[in-house]
Amino acid sequence: MQQLYFFLLFFFFYAFIGWCAEVAFAAWKSRRFVNRGFLNGPVCPIYGLGVSLAVQLLSPYQSSIPLLFVVSVILCTALEWFTGFLLEKLFHSKWWDYSHLPLNLNGYVCLPFSLLWGVACVLIVKIIHPLVYQMLALIPVPLGAVLLVIFCAVLAADLAVTASSILKLNRQLEKLEEITAELHQISDHIGESIYERTTAAIEKQEELKETFAAHRTEAMETVENVSETMESVSAEMRERIAGLREKSRQLAENLPPVQLRLLRAFPRMENQRHRQALEDLRKRLKQLEKRR
């Protein structure tokens, strides 16, 4: 029971420290605050779980720093790959992508970051964690237990809200994709209509030219009729196009705060089912930010 108690304490402590590190790095890059966590609260569960597991599983290798480093690299790589794979299978989205970095595996992990995590784990196990353990051991167990119950309840609620928001985002991307597909169909239909009527007008003019000037007026009337038909087609579709564009605009402008935060927090996030719709949504959001 005591082991579980301290494991949860370590989890929440390192999840918070990991969140702080991610936010600081994002602020340094973008010069503004960005909540880089997967969840809404100030925690990054992958850091909490990763470090908590590391200090438990790596303790037998503390006597040899080279061995500790190698095992740390293997453990962190396996955890990051599995987390990325699981998130993509659950939500059909890739939350980070190392495909642009050398020696990557499926974009979930790459050698440079794996080596970095290995160095970080050695420092944590040998230097940082003993100090953290001493600090957390000062918390009275009854108080720590109450805090853990509260933290676990908040974490569960946060997970539920975030998961629901991601699923809703997938449905909105599907709607955007349907709107885009319908606009393309309308465009293709108008294009085909213009082509067919223009071709018919040219053929009619060529036929009338054979009878020379006597039928010149009839030829001009034919061209005018075709133009009027095309204008009527355009007018007929204009309202539908405007409606679809307005619906698309509203979907982009009325995204819930949780979804907006996720899109900002994970700029490299990809959606395997609606890749183009997600890119279009990002472009719209950038345009909205420029207007503001």
Q: What is the pLDDT of residues 253-291, one digit of tens each?
A: 778 888 888 887 777 777 777 778 888 888 877 777 766
pLDDT of 122 reads: 92
As given in the structure block, the two tokens for residue 90 are 């659950």
% of the chain exceeding 70 in pLDDT = 80
Mean pLDDT for the chain? 80
| pLDDT for 144 beyond 60 | yes
E strand segments, 59-117 = 93-94, 104-105, 109-110
| pLDDT for 25 beyond 60 | yes
As given in the structure block, the two tokens for residue 288 are 């909205």
Beta strand 104-105 with 270-271 is: unpaired
> What mean pLDDT do residues 186-213 have?
58
| pLDDT for 50 beyond 70 | yes
pLDDT of 62 reads: 86
Q: What share of the chain is helix, strand, coil (3-state, %, to 5)?
A: 80, 5, 15
CB 154 within 8 A of CB 147: no
**Alpha-carbon distance 268 to 25, whole Å?**
15
pLDDT band at 149 (very low <50, low <70, confident <90, very high): very high
Q: Which residue has the higher pLDDT, 70 or 275?
A: 70
pLDDT band at 37 (very low <50, low <70, confident <90, very high): confident
CA 156 to chain centroid, in Å, comes to 21
The sign of the CA dihedral 229, 230, 233, 239 is: negative
**Alpha-carbon distance 26 to 38, whole Å?**
14
3-class SS of residue 105: strand
pLDDT tens-place string over residues 221-255: 655 555 555 555 556 666 777 777 778 778 777 78
pLDDT of 116 reads: 92
pLDDT tens-place string over residues 81-119: 998 898 888 877 787 888 888 889 988 999 999 999 999
% of the chain exceeding 90 in pLDDT = 27
pLDDT of 287 reads: 74
pLDDT band at 198 (very low <50, low <70, confident <90, very high): low
| pLDDT for 21 beyond 70 | yes
Q: What is the CA radius of gyration of the chain?
A: 30
